[in-house]
Amino acid sequence: MNLWLPKSAAGKRWLGLAPSYFIIGIFMLVPMVIMGVFSFLEPNPYGGVKPVGSLAAYVKLFFEYDLEDNLVFNPGYINIIFRSFQLSFGATLLCLVFGFPVAYYITLQPENRRNFYIYLITIPFWTNLLIRTFAWIIILGRGGVIETPLLAAGIIEDSLRMMYTDGAIAIGLTYSYLPLMVLPIYASLEKLDFRLLEAASDLYASRLEVMTKVVIPLCKPGIIAGCILVFIPCLGAFIAPNLLGGGKNLMLGSLVQFQFASARNWPFGAALSMLLLSAVVIMLIFYARAASKRASMEGSD
Amino acid sequence: MIAAIDIRGVTKVYNPASNQPVKALDNVSLTINDNEFFTLLGPSGCGKTTLLRLIAGFEQVSGGAIMLFDEEIVNLEPNQRPINTVFQHYALFPHMTVADNVAFGLERLRKPRSEIDATVERVLTLVKMKELGDRRPNQLSGGQQQRVALARALAPSPKVLLLDEPLSALDLKLRQAMREELKQLQKETGITFVFVTHDQEEALAMSDRIAVMSNGEVQQIGGPTDIYEHPVNRFVADFIGDTNFLDGEIVSFDDDLVTCRIGVQSMFEAENSGGHSIGDKVTLFLRPEKITLSPPDQASNVKTRPGKVANIVYLGNQTAYTLDMGDGIELTAQARPREDGKLPFAMGDSLAVGFSARALRVLAQ
């Protein structure tokens, strides 16, 4: 008889869940607390932090010191954050525009072929993201796959200068995270009862109305999940902004990476991460609220 | 009479390009009259649902024409046809309330809001679901969902209402109650109902006319009594109700009756339906309820034959007796239980089996 085993049901449940608490604690909470603590410390110019409390990192988000050592408002970082949201939003929208038809098309295929297409969707994940993003340089860049034939055919006379633009970043982000949009939308479309589409068209709905009144409302959970899965990693992305944006159009992710790797300002990087984290958490709370409201409205199903 | 739907030589082939084309409908022609309760009856795979889907527009015909009040509709999309469908599994929109489901068709037709609200209330009242307009489909029982599906299809006042085995998912009592209601609803609304079912009892109870289908072809079209009493072939006679079949050969006939030899030497007389000649191989059919059974000493005025009870199947209100008539012939007959609830006859009883020549009919082989 193991005397140290808990007797009560609640105690046993806790014991059963202990491994997952442990894993979440070690791999999620502890690193997050470290980040939180670091954001309130002073940077060590040689890397790492000095154990001295400071709000300097958060002040730096909005202000800088001018030549006379006065604190003045600095919109630079706010602009980067704003552009990050803009680009992430654009990339999410592009993912939705391209991902939804793909998911819908796969759903319409015979069952044995669907799994094969889903398998194809996941294939890009097998290769390193860095290498796949480099491929876009070859496609978009000067003398690249797109420009060369156009130049040769005389359709354009000069380089299109597609590289190192926000557009290139958006394309890179869209490409990177498209599968994360397709998969959840497919999962919800797959559960869709296609007889409802017939019922809708029987009741005088045009093809567009069948989509907007029946298909999209019914796979909204998948669409929202896809948007969240794309938007959040886009905000934190640094490979596409660095390679395709040329590092001059910084995004939040590349800014954080820069603070840790090159600028040696860990507290500032940590503060930026905390800002990103709180933005994401706020968005998820809104989503969870909307989802639970919907669930209670639609009953137990 | 005005034809609501005229099916003209409609053929439907699935996978026509493949090496295994499936012919679901083969040159089907039939006319469904305005304000009629018309039933497409047949076993599964007979093409009845295919025909319904062609009328609704969910499938394209491979050949032939479908006219709706003299207007060709085969090239119209489902949403362009003034026809609504009650689906087998209701297909209610789960993300909408009952009232929104019913309003869906009217909204797509861009009716004014006041008219939509009034119609929704009227139709929900018609199907006795007025109080449940705010519910979601998943909060309703099967019977209630059935009513909502009906209301939704009736709300846009279609010229024709298609019903695809709408009662098959309901339990027996509810199904019987809904039969009455559907028939009543058809009378009240005056809308042409095209009802698909494999349940012959349902078809007989509700329909003005029935088309019996098999293997993608229409076997017979007629009123319930026509179909039941005068089936044109063995398939129809067999599919509708219980039947005794006697295979034999015509040995003689006069204006009224034909005489057939069944088995080795048994002679049966049947009504002469015309066009027969001596030596024809024919099938006679005889409904079990047209056979009277009595103890041999109480032989009535009807001509009787001796028979022996070979099997008994108790059905409650009836008992089915299998009778050995000798000469390798077996007949199934029915008898009511006695007033004290006991069975009138026992296994092995010798009985006088009576039926008139009028009850026996000749079917084409």
The pLDDT of residue B202 is 92
| Paired residues of B320 in beta bridges | B313, B334
Tell me whether residues A203 and B79 touch, CB distance under 8 A.
yes
The pLDDT of residue B59 is 93
Neighboring chain A residues of B84 at a CB cutoff of 8 Å: 202-203
Q: Which domains, from first to last, does chain A contain?
A: 75-253 (1.10.3720.10)
What integer is the mean pLDDT of A130-137?
89
Q: Of the given ranges (A6-15, A65-74, A209-218, B122-131), which has the lowest mean pLDDT?
A: A6-15
Please count the other Cβ atoms lying within 10 Å of the Cβ belonging to residue A29. 11
Q: How far is B215 from chain A (nearest CA, A)?
A: 25
Tell me whether residues A195 and B85 touch, CB distance under 8 A.
no
Tell me whether residues A203 and B89 touch, CB distance under 8 A.
no
**What is the 3-state secondary structure of chain A?**
CCCCCCCCHHHHHHHHHHHHHHHHHHHHHHHHHHHHHHCCEEECCCCCEEEEECCHHHHHHHEEECCCCCEEECCHHHHHHHHHHHHHHHHHHHHHHHHHHHHHHHHHCCHHHHHHHHHHHHHHHHCCHHHHHHHHHHHHCCCCCCHHHHHHCCCCCCCCCCCCCHHHHHHHHHHHHHHHHHHHHHHHHHCCCCHHHHHHHHCCCCHHHHHHHHHHHHCHHHHHHHHHHHHHHHHHCCHHHHHHCCCCCCCHHHHHHHHHHCCCCHHHHHHHHHHHHHHHHHHHHHHHHHHHHHHHHCCCC
Q: What percentage of chain A carries pLDDT values higher than 90?
A: 40
The pLDDT of residue A301 is 42
Helix (H) or strand (E) holding B328: none
Tokens of A220: 């909204």
Closest residue of chain A to B58, computed from CA coordinates: A198
Residue A47 pLDDT exceeds 60: yes
Q: Which residue has the higher pLDDT, B249 or A287?
A: B249
Tokens of B79: 């949403």
Query: Per residue in A196-229, pLDDT tens?
Result: 999 999 999 999 999 999 999 999 989 999 999 9
| Paired residues of B307 in beta bridges | B351
Comparing CB atoms, the residue among B56, B139, B152 nearest residue A299 is: B139
Rounded distance, CA B175 to CA B166, Å?
9
Model confidence at A107, pLDDT cuts 50, 70, 90, reads: very high
Tokens of B4: 């609501």
The pLDDT of residue B175 is 87
Q: How far is A197 from chain B (nearest CA, A)?
A: 9
pTM of the predicted model as reported, rounded to 2 decimal places: 0.82
Rounded distance, CA B92 to CA B166, Å?
13
Give the pLDDT means over successive 10-residue stretches in chain B (365 positions).
Answer: 92 88 92 95 92 94 94 93 94 94 95 95 91 92 92 94 90 87 91 94 94 94 93 91 90 87 87 82 90 78 83 89 90 87 86 87 77
Q: Which domains, from first to last, does chain B contain?
A: 3-238 (3.40.50.300), 242-363 (2.40.50.100)
The pLDDT of residue A3 is 63
Q: What percentage of chain A carries pLDDT values higher than 70?
A: 96
Rounded distance, CA A300 to CA A160, Å?
55
Helix (H) or strand (E) holding B210: strand B209-214
Q: Tell whether A199 is within 8 A of chain B (Cβ).
A: yes
* Whether the complex's predicted ipTM surpasses the cut of 0.85: no
Residue A1 pLDDT exceeds 60: no
The answer to whether the beta carbons of residues B63 and B10 sit under 8 Å apart is yes
Q: What angle do CA A28, A268, A167 make, to 5 degrees?
A: 85
The pLDDT of residue A300 is 41
Neighboring chain B residues of A205 at a CB cutoff of 8 Å: 79, 104, 108
Tell me whether residues A298 and B138 touch, CB distance under 8 A.
yes
Model confidence at A261, pLDDT cuts 50, 70, 90, reads: confident
The pLDDT of residue B279 is 85
- Helix (H/G/I), strand (E/B), else coil: B219: strand
Q: What angle do CA A47, A51, A56 make, to 5 degrees?
A: 75
